[in-house]
Structure 1
């Protein structure tokens, strides 16, 4: 096998589509199919489950992916150091929430900078609920995002972690804290602080419907950090990802409520417009993510 074969394999594990992979790799769908078939023959195992609608990596593909991502990233690094093909230059635009900037990106950007020091990074921060739209509207090349159950068409994602959604109440002695401490909790009386738009909001609304309770919405805010701040001030209860609580400087000012049933966790990772993977800088960043977090969707 050669580097080109590994690149085609990695692209197919991300796009899960022969047509999309052919565009990313600048090859015909039949050529992509032949490349994958030769790779499977060489490895002696099936890497993808194919049907009329989709392509799904097998467990063997997930194992091989770790090797392939490392091998391609190392080859590109050696090529750049030796001057073969020139050093990668250009820029890349990334969207992330404040929490993602200090909890997720530090796991990727230092290695990317070490491999590609001449690529300039532009970082845009904002509400996590706007991450996918920023990608779709071509405001950025990639975004750290929480993934909905259905990924928008034209977007490819790579899962980096899974985080629970948790109810939080203030530790401050106040009416909200007193209500949240009752058993059973009077959910209809508790003021709720919720995201303006986010994956979490949909799950919260479903949770209240299952409970048969109409939430008493106190405020709609942009950003999980704002929710925590308002909860800490005693304005209401909120629902935020566990990662945000863990990394927050005011985590001691809120407490996690034990609820049953709990809220569904969600996946967090990198989202990119599929056609943007034709960019050398975007593809380089994507591969570093894949090497650090060999898990995808």
Structure 2
């Protein structure tokens, strides 16, 4: 599959016009049509719906557009790499939470910059629960995230750190803390129906928590569902409720000294935190380089 044909396909997909794409690329409409027809033969499906008035991408065309964009991007990066006499040049897009950027990525990025000084890291931050979808959709090359309970087939996962989940309560004197301590002292278990519980609104932590509660027949009082473990720890530190978060986040958060673990009869499961990437994207020298450095740095730190 030629890069020239992919570029032509993208021109048609962008303009949704065979004639306009031909004009921009100085090609006849018939030449554009023949090229698209050859691509459709290779793919085995139509890439465009077309009639006398309109041109639109098919479902296969939408997926092929993503493939063409990635392929041309990788080809351009490879050309830049060869032009620089073997030195990797370009950029890698990385998504992570604020906590991960401080606790996990600092040594990895330091080692990566030392080895590949001409590669730029484009970092985006947000709720780690969005990391997998951002990688699957092609928004980012890699994401630091919690390993999903069901790992998508298209995804590879590189473990970097294990962290147990913890319920945490305010360290300050308040009603929430008093209820936790009273329950633990009287019966050895907590009155979940009266405790305000702060939980993630989505993601692996929420799934694990739902399973843990269901197995024990607990119907908690949900005070709030929020995005991000950091926000949960902050709300707990203010005395608003009992929250759940990885120990890694609790330790790294600015409010870690204002919360403490809740005593439990049954421990919560641990989380595997690491890098996620599309298997197809790992064929990119730039993405593979960061992946390998992360793995090597993690082995050294352990």
- The separation in 2 between residues aligned to 1:172 and 1:246, in whole angstroms, is 17
Q: CA deviation at 1:85?
A: 3.7
Is residue 257 from structure 1 mapped to residue 268 from structure 2 by the alignment?
no
Q: CA deviation at 1:258?
A: 1.7
- The superposition leaves residues 219-250 of structure 1 with CA deviations (integer Å, 9 ceiling, x where unpaired) of 11011110011111111100100001111111
Aligned counterparts, 1:230-245, within 5 A: 230-245=235-250
Larger Rg: 2
Task: Tell me the SS of whatever aligns to 2:230.
Answer: helix
Q: CA deviation at 1:149?
A: 2.4
Is residue 148 from structure 1 mapped to residue 153 from structure 2 by the alignment?
no
Aligned counterparts, 1:1-297, within 5 A: 85-182=85-182, 183=184, 184=187, 185-294=190-299
Aligned residues of 2:111 and 2:297 also touching (Cα < 8 A): no
- The superposition leaves residues 248-288 of structure 1 with CA deviations (integer Å, 9 ceiling, x where unpaired) of 11111101112121111011100001100121110111111
Q: CA deviation at 1:294?
A: 4.2
Equivalent residues, number: 214
Task: Tell me the SS of whatever aligns to 1:180.
Answer: helix
User: How large is the RMSD of aligned CA atoms in angstroms?
Assistant: 1.7
- The superposition leaves residues 71-114 of structure 1 with CA deviations (integer Å, 9 ceiling, x where unpaired) of xxxxxxxxx9xx99431100000000010000000120001001
- The separation in 2 between residues aligned to 1:132 and 1:267, in whole angstroms, is 14
Task: Tell me the SS of whatever aligns to 1:108.
Answer: helix
The answer to which structure, 1 or 2, has the higher relative contact order (CA under 8 A, 6+ apart) is 1
Which residue number corresponds to residue 43 of structure 1?
Answer: none
- The separation in 2 between residues aligned to 1:202 and 1:91, in whole angstroms, is 34
TM-score scaled by structure 2? 0.68
In structure 1, the gaps of 5 or more residues are: 1-79
Moved over 3 A (4+): none
- The separation in 2 between residues aligned to 1:193 and 1:84, in whole angstroms, is 52
- The separation in 2 between residues aligned to 1:101 and 1:127, in whole angstroms, is 12
Task: Tell me the SS of whatever aligns to 1:162.
Answer: strand
- The separation in 2 between residues aligned to 1:177 and 1:251, in whole angstroms, is 16
- The superposition leaves residues 167-202 of structure 1 with CA deviations (integer Å, 9 ceiling, x where unpaired) of 000112111111111223212211111111121111
Q: CA deviation at 1:210?
A: 1.9
- The separation in 2 between residues aligned to 1:265 and 1:214, in whole angstroms, is 22
Task: Tell me the SS of whatever aligns to 1:235.
Answer: coil
In structure 2, the gaps of 5 or more residues are: 1-80
TM-score scaled by structure 1? 0.69
